[in-house]
Chain A
């Protein structure tokens, strides 16, 4: 079975705090892809990152960083020095030997000034 679990339903932080969003996935396939999407209040899903199962290197893009660990089946997302504009729902998703994305239930991040 393929599944994505985002155990954190909602996180609230104050601006400039660092925050980590957790994602745990399940799949029996050896080749798969993991994604993070951002859904701001406007509703449109915005692609943030794709990582394939053979590349465990962590990635940093500005204030965003991702930690992929196959040993724990996790693909966590950290925002450094959070800003109010980061407030959104963040979804982790899995694409495993099919073309459909399997999404977690999302984590709502609220960043207060």
Chain B
């Protein structure tokens, strides 16, 4: 059973550039989540999807951030006009709510460095 995968694993970009990250969830998991983790902190929720519908967005998700999950499979997270404060680890997780299974399984993350 393949786990959650994320690409790229590392991204270095200059301030003002746009970046896009991809997440492939565990097969048949209908829920997909994005979190952001800064150094020394726990992950913070950004947004989540049930199938292709984006159900909730955190206030942390400014207008420069957009997430999509076309066809309810993989998801992309785009950050426009990156700022140094966007430097963080971006984590993706997936879950299936069938049978009371509420665990979220995380991918390895994409570490973004904005210079």
Interface, chain A (partner B; CB < 8 A): 4, 33, 35, 37, 42-47, 50, 91, 93, 95, 98-106
Contacts and interface: CB of A to CB of B under 8 A. Distances in A.
CB-CB nearest 9 A-B residue pairs = A103-B42, A100-B45, A45-B106, A44-B108, A47-B103, A103-B43, A91-B42, A105-B42, A43-B109
27 contacts: A4-B42, A37-B106, A42-B108, A43-B108, A44-B106, A44-B107, A44-B108, A45-B43, A46-B106, A47-B103, A47-B105, A91-B42, A91-B43, A93-B42, A95-B102, A99-B31, A99-B33, A99-B48, A99-B95, A100-B33, A100-B45, A100-B58, A101-B43, A103-B43, A105-B42, A106-B41, A106-B42
Contacts, number: 56
A47 B43 contact: no
Interface in B20-42: 31, 33, 35, 40-42
A95 B45 CA distance: 11
A26 to B, nearest CB: 15
B76 interface: no
Quick one: which of A33, A93, A101 has the most chain B CB within 10 A? A101
Contacts of A42: 108
B56 A98 contact: yes
B89 interface: yes
Interface string B98-115: 000011111111010000
A33 B104 contact: no
Contacts of A98: 56
A65 to B, nearest CB: 19
Interface in B74-92: 89, 91
